[in-house]
Amino acid sequence: MKNISSTLSSIRKEGLYRDCRYLSSQQAPKVYIEGRKIILLGSNNYLGLCEDIRIKEAAKGAIDKYGVGAGGSRLTTGSYDLHRELEEKIASFKGTESALVFNTGYMANLGIISALCDRKWVIFSDKYNHASIIDGCLLSGAKLIRYKHCDMEDLERKIHMYKESNNLIVTDGIFSMDGNVAPLKDIARLAKAHGIVTMVDDAHGVGILGKNGSGTIAHFNLSKEIDIQMGTLSKALASIGGYVAGKKDVIEYIKNISRSFIFSTALPPSSIAASLRAIDIIREDEERRKKLIDLSEWFKKELVKLGFRVTKTITPIIPVIIGNAENTVKFSKGLLEEGIYVPAIRPPTVPKGTSRLRISLMANHDYEDLKYVLKVIEIHGKRLGII
């Protein structure tokens, strides 16, 4: 038995203790937390679709027609015509032959990687890849080789060390805590030269980059080159679920082998209906995407003008690096007192010494609110000696 109380007390001592904050309103630029109206800045609801009336109506309609629960797993009684429709829509959105929906992005990564790879495989994984990718690699039993973040020389050097094996390169499309975009063109080139399978997790790219918002792979025009496209329906798409898209036989194989797909009750039809409507809206609404990118560009420039260390990105994820965990928590708490909620991101989510405020904007954030945020951030940044 692990020593629970000493582990908890050292987590507390290092400023790494985490707990939930409970919202009592919908995910939106302004929310209610513990009875107070707060500006929300860390959400993955990038396009502001969680409160979209059209998506709500789609979900309500599905409840009226299908009820509330799926009632079974996907390969028993829990697959509905809506699941098939969504899988076909995702495949067409992503430019692939086929797609399969999982219950979450986390389960998708676990299920895809552990179905495709085993002990005979070597997986090259970017050092900053999401935890669900790492867990999928570990579950597969493959040899996990982590290359330096976005460092193609390091990746190539490591590829040469394991030439004889079955190999997979896996990367986030947009890195969730840094907001930067993976060098997918170089990854695809290296993979082709060395006969390596490629997988991209585009949880944060869908709805943001690429033609019709279809993601990072489309942004680089690599739909034919990347073998496995994975993503989630829970961020810009404002719903819940994960997916894999790729060649038909690969998807059929995953459907039959992947334990996180097989051994879990299917998503309810209402969530599937919400995802279907969200994809339609994202495809049509170029303006919403543009507004988000413009707002993010402006906000980043303002932060830099104030003297903050802001990672260079073309996405709405704006990490403000503070350094140590304690100051990051103090900063986040100070902002909350002034009516602004930005979660403090600390190890193990990010490397030690790079704790940060992970600001992320929504397309429907208001300039005036964001100007207020900048003012408050400046005061607290100065008070803590960060700027």
Binding residues vs ligand PLP (CB under 6 A): 104-106, 109, 130, 132, 172, 176, 201, 203-204, 232, 234, 242
Give the span between the Cα atoms of 50 and 237, in whole angstroms.
8
Task: Report the residue number, 175 or 220, with the smaller CB distance to ligand PLP.
Answer: 175
Q: Give the shortest CB-160-to-ligand PLP separation in angstroms.
A: 28
Give the span between the Cα atoms of 27 and 150, in whole angstroms.
32
Phi first, then psi, for residue 70 (nearest 5°) are -80, -30
Q: Give the shortest CB-369-to-ligand PLP separation in angstroms.
A: 25
Nearest residue to 342 via CA among 303, 307, 304, 312: 303
Radius of gyration of the chain (CA): 21
Task: Report the residue number, 231 or 269, with the smaller CB distance to ligand PLP.
Answer: 231
Chain residue at closest Cβ approach to ligand PLP: 105
Q: Which residues are known catalytic residues?
A: 176, 204, 235
Task: Report the residue number, 362 or 370, with the smaller CB distance to ligand PLP.
Answer: 362
Task: Report the residue number, 78 or 205, with the smaller CB distance to ligand PLP.
Answer: 205
Give the span between the Cα atoms of 172 and 299, in whole angstroms.
24
Q: Give the shortest CB-255-to-ligand PLP separation in angstroms.
A: 19
Q: What is the dihedral of CA 105, 107, 111, 113, to 10 degrees?
A: 50
Strand partners, 230: 201, 244
Give the span between the Cα atoms of 200 and 217, in whole angstroms.
8
Task: Report the residue number, 55 or 373, with the smaller CB distance to ligand PLP.
Answer: 55
Nearest residue to 165 via CA among 144, 186, 185: 144
Q: Give the shortest CB-28-to-ligand PLP separation in angstroms.
A: 19
Give the span between the Cα atoms of 361 and 340, in whole angstroms.
13
Contact assessment for residue 229 and residue 263, using Cβ atoms and an 8 Å cutoff: no
Q: Give the shortest CB-350-to-ligand PLP separation in angstroms.
A: 12
Give the span between the Cα atoms of 143 and 359, in whole angstroms.
34
DSSP 213: G
Q: Give the shortest CB-102-to-ligand PLP separation in angstroms.
A: 8
- The three-class DSSP label of residue 8 is helix
Cα-based distances in Å from 347 to 3, 74, 158, 180, 293: 20, 36, 26, 19, 28
**Which one-letter amino acid corresponds to residue 206?**
V
Q: Give the shortest CB-361-to-ligand PLP separation in angstroms.
A: 16
Task: Report the residue number, 82 or 206, with the smaller CB distance to ligand PLP.
Answer: 206
C-alpha dihedral sign at 78, 81, 85, 91: positive
Task: Report the residue number, 176 or 364, with the smaller CB distance to ligand PLP.
Answer: 176
211's tokens? 């033609």
